Structure 1
Amino acid sequence: MARLQLRNLEKDYGGFKAVHGINLEVADGEFMVLVGPSGCAKSTTLRMIAGLERVTGGEIRIGDSLVNDKAPGERGIAMVFQNYALYPHMKVRKNLSFGLRLKRRPKEEIEQATHDVSNILEIGDYLERLPKQLSGGQAQRVAVGRALIKKPQVFLFDEPLSNLDAKLRASMRVRITDLHKQLKADGLQSTVVYVTHDQTEAMTMGDRICVMKEGRIMQVADPVKLYNRPANAFVAGFIGSPEMNLIDSKLDGRSLKIGGKVLELDDEMLSRLQPRGTDVTLGVRPQHFAVVGVDVANALDGRVSHVEFMGHEVYLYIRVEGQQVIAVVPANHYDRGKINGDAIRLAPQAGSAHLFDRASGENISLSNQA
């Protein structure tokens, strides 16, 4: 079994605490993504799992084994790095088989494993090439193949796509997730921990996502729950593109005051609200703002300051009571030349808004929400 457990895991660099006692369990065969901004300690956490960083406190268990003091080669892991880390003087065939040759596996086993892995990743035509003769996408597939051929208990990926262009990143996302599904279907070890700062990668690849900030876990959930039920304002602002609008507000009974404007909270919002104080943050995703007419009373007035045409949709940047919000609208509904500078009215779609306690950042509008 390839379950991974982190129990009260800590990392201290001589007075600077990078990881603050995190707890995380990755199920056998799960694709877990660690995501967060630069400096949140996601790569440090991965390197501790790999044995490349010493654990200051807590435990790392792979399967039923405590691996804190085990060398990287004894942990049953394989790691794919951001910079591929291929041996430049070895052809692809030898790069793939190097780990098996170190273990002095039989020649026939090495040849069969190399053949199988190269077929899975469609790199059979590159086996006699040197790394310098490969494109970025080809080199990354070789790096994945070198990890796959070891048949590890846990695969570790440290921002493996960040050096690729946008088109290659998209295709490699599909390849890696398809590979994970194939390994699971074949009954092979397929537990993955994948580190990225790109929330698009996280949302499209992970079975579950662990959102980190400053060495702490903010929320662990599947992509749908993270998007629809963020536990706090940090997760709400980090997950989603464009990011969620977070608008400083004051709660007053059934009303929400935003500058000189007032929004009345509907019964649905009130039914799931657990107020902690009057200073709150209204969260509305750009896609959940409806542009409404003057006949709609419960709406916010603003003025468009900037327009971005994105093809099938338009991003409207709007000043509302001194704060900037973004609304995403279908492109075929609006004439770009007539929007900029125009007055506009926005209303949150029913059931789409969140309220966060401004002091703690906690989402206080999740009670009774499915």
Structure 2
Amino acid sequence: MTDVGPVPPNSAQPVPASYLTLRGIRKSFGRECVLDGLNLDVSEGEYLVVLGPSGCGKSTLLQIIAGLVRPDSGDVKLASRSLDRVSPKDRDVSILFQDDRLYPHWNLRKNLELACDRSPVKKHQSGDPVLELAQRLNIGGLLQRRPDEISGGQLRRAALAKALLRQPAVCLLDEPFAAIDTMMREDLISLLADFPRERGGGCSQTSVVHVTHDGEEAMRLADRIVVLGGGRVLQSGTPDDIYRKPQSLDVAKAIGTPPANMIAGNQVRAMLADRYDQLVQALPGCHDSSTFIVRPEHIRLALQTDVSDRDGDICDGQWRLAATVLSSRFVAGRWLASISVDADRELVLTVSSPLEIGPAGRHVIAHVSLADIVCVPG
């Protein structure tokens, strides 16, 4: 973690509002365009998660906000003040890098106390905030050790503590759960979800910009999710909006474990034949070039018990598909299965169910509520 500086000491007043605005941010490295005219707004006290695959510009975005990388064009403002000529040390911003950065010759306590000393709200803190947070992160007994005397996961927790103790106007987190084991990851998610962002003393609330490629992590922490792709914002919205109303294939792929099923519109037409128009009428905006998004958890399976079961029926707001179970396994309290659609054997769907699905070879009917189907441009 690198602390990029407190509010300048000669500032008479604290920053009145910690909202962050980025306009027209462009950045290229050689011939590779990483950010392409990106626009972004972060509200005061908001927990914003920027979601996207590796290489989509997430880390570069944080470094531009922190002033560690200069954009080729565009402007960054904090509380309506342009940061174009403000050095990193004078921005009220802290950043947790993917590779942890603590002073190697100091013990953990001294590293963490430095963050408190540089906090613009230090005078409003009481007790021993270093010890309190260290205990919450399960590193309270390690404060006298140097960074090279603890494990990678412990070092990651110490670096996260430093970013939080700084209590900046904007806290930037770059993949904060890297090198963290599963149990501690759960504790850290709870910590960040509940961590108070009030700074006291008339200061604005801390805004958090957290970047990750993990859709589940984003869903659990974000007030709002921004999905990046091609150097631009593909979609911005609440976790519920991003999950239920993706506007593109890339957004649909970014959220959900296991990933969403994606069925090409022409496949759907071929399976349904004369019943295709009935489905399209129930899903405005869908056509042959659309892709139909069906979440694994939205598929309900039932046994084929009647020879009159028809594949592709549209009835009572349900799309029914005759299928055959290819495999099923029990994972984390749910049954995950792959099923092959009888009308198109090349179409294999993933199903996530709390109920046992049964062995390979079982013939089933997959029920999908039309209300759970989303169509996006192909």
TM class by shorter chain equals: 0.7 to 0.9
Cα deviations by residue, 1:136-191 (Å, 9 ceiling, x for unpaired): 45433322332233331100001111111222212111112221xx2239676320
1:343 and 2:363 are equivalent in the alignment:
yes
Mean CA deviation greater in 208-217 or 133-142: 133-142
2:301 aligned residue: 291
Query: Any residues of structure 2 matched to 1:264-275 within 5 Å, and which?
Result: 264=276, 270=281, 273-275=284-286
**Paired residues of 1:117 and 1:148 also in contact (CA < 8 A):** no
CA shift for structure 1 position 35? 0.9
Which of 103, 118, 130 is the aligned partner of 1:117?
Answer: 130
1:84 aligned residue: 100
CA shift for structure 1 position 127? 2.6
Which of 275, 298, 303 is the aligned partner of 2:324?
Answer: 303
**Relative to 1, partners in 2 of residues 1:249 and 1:271: Cα closer, same or farther, differing over 3 Å?**
closer
**Relative to 1, partners in 2 of residues 1:311 and 1:79: Cα closer, same or farther, differing over 3 Å?**
closer
SS in 1 for 2:197: helix
Which of 57, 75, 80 is the aligned partner of 2:91?
Answer: 75
CA shift for structure 1 position 117? 3.4
Aligned mates of 1:196, 1:357 — CA distance in 2:
25
2:316 aligned residue: none
**Paired residues of 2:153 and 2:181 also in contact (CA < 8 A):** no
Aligned residue pairs: how many? 342
CA shift for structure 1 position 271? 5.5
Which of 313, 334, 337 is the aligned partner of 1:313?
Answer: 334
SS in 2 for 1:175: helix
**Paired residues of 2:109 and 2:130 also in contact (CA < 8 A):** no
1:44 and 2:79 are equivalent in the alignment:
no
SS in 2 for 1:2: coil
CA shift for structure 1 position 31? 0.3
**Paired residues of 2:108 and 2:143 also in contact (CA < 8 A):** yes
Aligned mates of 2:28, 2:284 — CA distance in 1:
38
SS in 2 for 1:160: coil
1:58 and 2:82 are equivalent in the alignment:
no
Which amino acid is the alignment partner of residue 323 of structure 2? G
Mean CA deviation greater in 29-38 or 293-302: 293-302
Aligned mates of 2:372, 2:199 — CA distance in 1:
37
Mean CA deviation greater in 142-151 or 157-166: 142-151
Aligned mates of 2:174, 2:23 — CA distance in 1:
21
**Paired residues of 2:175 and 2:211 also in contact (CA < 8 A):** yes
Which amino acid is the alignment partner of residue 335 of structure 2? V
Query: Any residues of structure 2 matched to 1:84-163 within 5 Å, and which?
Result: 84-98=100-114, 115-122=128-135, 123-163=139-179
1:34 aligned residue: 50
**Paired residues of 2:24 and 2:38 also in contact (CA < 8 A):** yes
**Paired residues of 1:55 and 1:68 also in contact (CA < 8 A):** no
1:175 and 2:191 are equivalent in the alignment:
yes
Query: Any residues of structure 2 matched to 1:151-300 within 5 Å, and which?
Result: 151-179=167-195, 182-184=196-198, 189-250=205-266, 256-259=268-271, 264=276, 270=281, 273-275=284-286, 277-292=287-302, 293=304, 294=306, 297=310, 298=313, 299-300=320-321
In structure 1, the gaps of 5 or more residues are: 359-370
**Paired residues of 2:321 and 2:365 also in contact (CA < 8 A):** yes
Mean CA deviation greater in 120-129 or 20-29: 120-129
SS in 2 for 1:88: coil
**Relative to 1, partners in 2 of residues 1:12 and 1:318: Cα closer, same or farther, differing over 3 Å?**
same
Q: TM-score, normalised by structure 2?
A: 0.81
**Relative to 1, partners in 2 of residues 1:224 and 1:185: Cα closer, same or farther, differing over 3 Å?**
farther
Which of 22, 28, 35 is the aligned partner of 1:12?
Answer: 28
Instruction: Among all aligned residue pairs of Structure 1 and Structure 2, give the percentage whose two residues are the same amino acid.
Output: 30
**Relative to 1, partners in 2 of residues 1:247 and 1:323: Cα closer, same or farther, differing over 3 Å?**
same
SS in 1 for 2:372: coil
Aligned mates of 1:77, 1:340 — CA distance in 2:
55
RMSD: 2.8
Q: TM-score, normalised by structure 1?
A: 0.83
CA shift for structure 1 position 120? 3.5
Mean CA deviation greater in 55-64 or 65-74: 65-74
Aligned mates of 1:28, 1:97 — CA distance in 2:
26
CA shift for structure 1 position 78? 0.4
1:365 aligned residue: none
CA shift for structure 1 position 239? 0.6
Aligned mates of 2:369, 2:54 — CA distance in 1:
33
Aligned mates of 2:349, 2:368 — CA distance in 1:
12
In structure 2, the gaps of 5 or more residues are: 1-16, 314-319
Mean CA deviation greater in 32-41 or 166-175: 166-175
**Relative to 1, partners in 2 of residues 1:347 and 1:124: Cα closer, same or farther, differing over 3 Å?**
closer
Aligned mates of 1:285, 1:274 — CA distance in 2:
19
Cα deviations by residue, 1:235-286 (Å, 9 ceiling, x for unpaired): 11221111110011239xxxx414576755668x7355124x5222111101
Aligned mates of 1:16, 1:153 — CA distance in 2:
31
